[in-house]
Amino acid sequence: MKLFTFKSIVSFKFLFSLAATFISLAAMAQPVVTLTAPSAASTTISTGGTVSFTAERNGNNANWTGGNGNFTYTWNVVSGPAGGLTFSPASTTITGNNSSTTGTFTINGTYTVSCTVSEGGGLTATSGIKTVVVLAPPPPAVSISPNPTASTFTGGTVNFTSSVSNFTGTGTITYTWSVSPGTNGVDYIIPAGNSSSKNIVFNSVDVYSVSVVASRGTESATSATTTVNVFQPNLYSTSGTGTVKAYRVNSVTGAILNGPADVFTPSGSTAGLGKNKANVNDANGNLYYILNTSSNNGVVQIYSVTPSGSGNVSVGSIDMNGTGDNTSLGFVRLGFDGTGKGWIIAGDGASAIYIASFQGNGSNPISNINTYGNAPLSVNGGLASEFQNGDLAISGTGVLYAMANVTGGDTYIYTLNSLLSPTTLNKKWTVQTAGGVFTGTSVNGVAWTQTGSLHISTGNGIYFIDQTTANQVSGTVQAVLINSFSGLTDLASSEFPANTSLPISYGEIKVRKEGSNAELSWTTLSEINNDYFVVERSTDGIRFVQAGIVDGKGNTGTKETYSFTDPLSTTAKVLYYRLRQVDADGKATISSVVSLRLNGTKLNNYAVYPNPFVSDIKLQIETDKQQEITVRISNASGQLVMSKKVILQLGDNIVVLQNLESLKTGIYMVELVGADWKHTQRISKQ
C-alpha cells in the first residue's frame, strides 16, 4: 500500500481551505433589494391617492456578478384588486443603486408591493413587500363657528366662520347661508356675496338656527346648526378699556337671563355709562359714556354709540366746576331720565359735588347744557367726601338716586331734592348685605329694573337691591350678589320705573268715621319737592276719584302731619282711600290704600279675591298695628312672577295688584309675609 506523504497532506488541506473560501465569498456576493420608502410597513390612503416608493440594491457592482452593470428596477403588484394600481414609471434601467416610482390607487382594497432588480446578463433579486390599505375617501364636510350656540342682543352681530374639508378637484366653493325663522332683511340681515364667513345682524328677539351649505361641482355638504338666542337688553355694563356688554335681567329677582354679549369697545377707559330711552331727539336710544381721566380740569368729554355698537363718536364736553376752577374731578358719573335728558354728577372726593344736564341727540352733538351755575350741591345727612365711588339713576317720576361709596367703607343711597332746580342731596339709605356691612367693593354703577329695584356694579360683581327690603325705620336696604365679575366700572339701563318703594316717605295713614264725615290723617317722614296731595276715594278699591287736595310742605327732612275731612254721602258698605302725592314738576307717586267700614260692616282678617281672577287681585288685610309686609306671587312651578312691598296701616287695608292679565292661565300662590307671620292662598288665573 502506498503511503501519503507529508506534502500530499498539506496540498489536501490547502485545497479544502480554498474551496471553503470560495463558498463564503459566493454567499457574501448574493444581491439584496430593500424598499426604503415608504418607511412604514403599512400605509393607509384614500381612493385616488398616491404613494411614493423607493427601492435600493445593496453593496456595489461586485455583489452583482456576471452582468453588464445596467440595472432594471421593475415594480410589482404582489396582491390586491386587479387594475387598481398603476406605477409611474413601471420600470427603470439605470446604473445607480436606487430608483423610485409613484403608485396611484384607484380601487379600494389592500395591496402589497415589491420591486425586482436585475442586472443585464447577471443576477436578479426581489425586495420584501410594503402594504397599502386604500379606503373610500371621507365625504365632503363643512363646519361653522361659533357652535353649537351663540347669543346677541337686538341689532347685534354674530360673526360666523366656516371651514371645509374633503372637497376634491379645483374651483370656487359656493357658500349658501341660511337663518330660520324670520325674513332676511327684516328679522336678520345676511350680507350679500359668496363668502366662507358672514357677519349676520339680528334685529328681532327670537331663537334662530344658522347653517351653511358648501358646494362645488357635484360635491355638497351642510354644516351643523348653530342656535342663536337674540334678546332685548335691559342692562349694560362697562369695564375700563374693556368692551361694553349687554344683558337681559329678571326685573323681580335680578337674575341675569341672557348675556353678556359684547356691544362695542370704548375709545378709552370709561368712568360712566348711560343709556337713553328712544325719543324724538335720539331715535335709537343711544349709549353714552365718559372717559376716566385723572387730569380733566373739571371738563367731562361725552361719547355716543348706537345700541348696536356703531358710530362711536364724541358729541361734546361739559365744564362741571366752571372756567375759573381747574380742579380735576375724580368722581364722574352719568345717567339719563325718562325725557331723554342726560345728567352728570362729579366730585373731587373731598368737599364738592357738581351737577349738570344736557339733551342727548344720538350721534349729533349734545345740546341744552345746564351746569346750574357750577354751584356745588349741598349734602344733607352726609358728606361730599362720601362720593369717592358710586353712580346715579333716575326713576320714571324724576327722582335722581345717587349712590355714594367710601373706598373701603360704607355705601349710601342719596336722593336729589329737585331736577328743576337741584341744590341738595339727601341721604336716604345705607346699603347692607344680609343685614350687615355691605360686601361689595368699589361701588361704581347703579341701574334700574322696570319694576323699581336696582342693580349695582362693584369691584367684585353685580349686586341686586330688592326694593322690598327698604326699611324706612332703620334707613337700610339690602343687596345680594347675583354674579361675580371683576373689572366692572359702571352700569346703565333705559328703564325708568314709575313706582318704586325705595323713596318711601309716608309715615302712618289713618281713616275713621266722625259723625257724617270720614276723617283722614297721615304723616310724612321726609319730603322732596312735594307740591300737594290729592286725596282719592273708591267704593271698590280699584277705581278711585278725587275727593280733595291738600298742599304739601315742599322740602323737609322732619316729620309732618296732615289731615282731610271727606263728607259721607254714599250707600257703600266700605270706602277706600289713598293719597296721590304730586311733585312741583308734575311727577306723582301713590300711597297704600286704607279702608273705612260703614254701617257696621265686618271684614275678615285676611282675604284674597276674586278667585279666579282676570287682571286684578285685591288683598283685604286687617292689622292691629302699622307694619311693612311683602306680597309675592309664584306660579305652579314655584317661580316668582311678582314681588311687592306694602306698608299696612292700623285697621283695615286693601291692597290691589293690577295689570296681571299677561300671566298665563293656571294656578298661582299668593304669599303675604310679615315680620313674624305668613299667609298663603292658592288662586287661579282665567
Q: What CATH number does residue 533 fall under?
A: 2.60.40.2060
For 267-289, what is each residue's pLDDT tens digit? 999 989 999 999 999 999 999 99
For residue 311, the model assigns a pLDDT of: 93
| CATH code at position 351 | 2.120.10
Q: d(Cα 502, Cα 467) in Å, to the nearest integer?
A: 6
pLDDT value of position 526: 65
pLDDT at position 85 over 90: yes
d(CA 463, CA 443): 10
Residue 21 has pLDDT above 80, yes or no: no
Say if residue 1's pLDDT is above 50. Answer: no
Distance set, CA 30 to CA 43, 69, 97, 124 (Å): 30, 15, 15, 9
111 and 204 both lie in a single domain: no
Tell how far CA 333 is from the center of its chain: 23
Write out pLDDT tens, residues 592-616. 778 787 765 444 567 788 888 888 8
Q: Are residues 169 and 192 in the same domain?
A: yes
pLDDT for the residue 602: 46
The answer to the question of residue 554 being in a domain is: yes
For residues 357 and 339, is the Cβ–Cβ distance under 8 A? no
579 and 652 in a single domain? The answer is no
Check: pTM over 0.85? Answer yes or no. no
Q: Are 562 and 619 in a shared domain?
A: no
Q: How many domains does the chain have?
A: 5
Domain end position, chosen among 207, 231, 255: 231
**Domain assignment of residue 400, yes or no:** yes
Q: What is the b/e burial string over 340-351, where b = at least 16 CB atoms within 10 angstroms of the residue's CB?
A: bbbbbbbbbbee
Q: What is the CATH number of the domain that holds 202?
A: 2.60.40.10
Question: In the structure, what pLDDT confidence band is assigned to residue 19 with cuts at 50, 70 and 90?
Answer: very low
Hey, how many other C-beta atoms are within 10 angstroms of the C-beta on 377?
A: 22
- Range of the structural domain that residue 290 is part of: 235-492
- With respect to residue 378, please indicate whether it lies within any of the assigned structural domains: yes
Domain contains 155:
yes
Task: Tell me the average pLDDT of the chain.
Answer: 86
Distance separating alpha carbons of residues 596 and 514, to the nearest angstrom: 11
d(CA 150, CA 416) in angstroms, rounded, equals: 42
Sign, CA dihedral 65-67-70-75, equals negative
User: For residue 28, which phi and psi values (nearest 5 degrees)?
Assistant: -65, -25
**Residue scoring higher pLDDT (391 or 672):** 391
223 and 256 in a single domain? The answer is no
One domain, residues 549 and 633: no
State pLDDT tens for residues 618-646. 888 877 777 778 888 888 777 788 888 77
Residue 110: its H or E element: strand 109-119
Q: Say whether both 66 and 149 belong to one domain.
A: no
18 in a domain, yes or no?
A: no
Distance, in Å, from the CA atom of 331 to the CA atom of 103, rounded to the nearest integer, reads: 76
Task: Give, rounded to a whole angstrom, the gap between the first and last alpha carbons of the chain.
Answer: 141
Tell me the C-alpha distance between 508 and 527, whole Å.
14
Say if 13 falls within a structural domain. Answer: no
Most confident of 60-64, 119-123, 297-301, 504-508: 297-301
* pLDDT tens-digit map of 424-482: 999 989 999 988 999 988 888 999 888 788 999 998 899 999 887 887 667 889 999 98
Same domain, 284 and 151: no
d(CA 314, CA 290) in angstroms, rounded, equals 9
Are 597 and 673 found together in one domain?
A: no
- Compute the CA torsion angle 591, 596, 602, 608 (nearest 10 deg): -20
Q: How many helices (H) and strands (E) does the chain have?
A: 1, 56
pLDDT digits (tens, 9 = 90+) for 468-495: 788 766 788 999 998 888 888 889 998 8
Read off the pLDDT band of 585 (50, 70, 90).
low
Q: What one-character DSSP code corresponds to residue 569?
A: -
What is residue 506's predicted lDDT score, i.e. its pLDDT?
64
Residues 242 and 191 in one domain: no
Average of pLDDT values for 358-366? 96
Instruction: Output the pLDDT for position 676.
Output: 64
Q: What are phi and psi of 633, to 5 degrees?
A: -125, 130
Q: What is the DSSP string of 232-255?
A: ---EEEE-TTS-EEEEEE-TTT--
The residue among 201, 231, 261 that closes a domain is 231
Q: For residue 317, tell me if it sits in a domain.
A: yes
Is residue 19 a part of any domain in this protein?
no
Same domain, 443 and 550: no
What is the distance between the alpha carbons of residues 176 and 542, in angstroms, rounded to a whole number?
A: 58
Task: Say yes or no: 361 and 423 in one domain.
Answer: yes
What's residue 486's pLDDT? 84
Residue 292 binned pLDDT confidence (cut-offs 50, 70, 90): confident
98 beta partners = 56
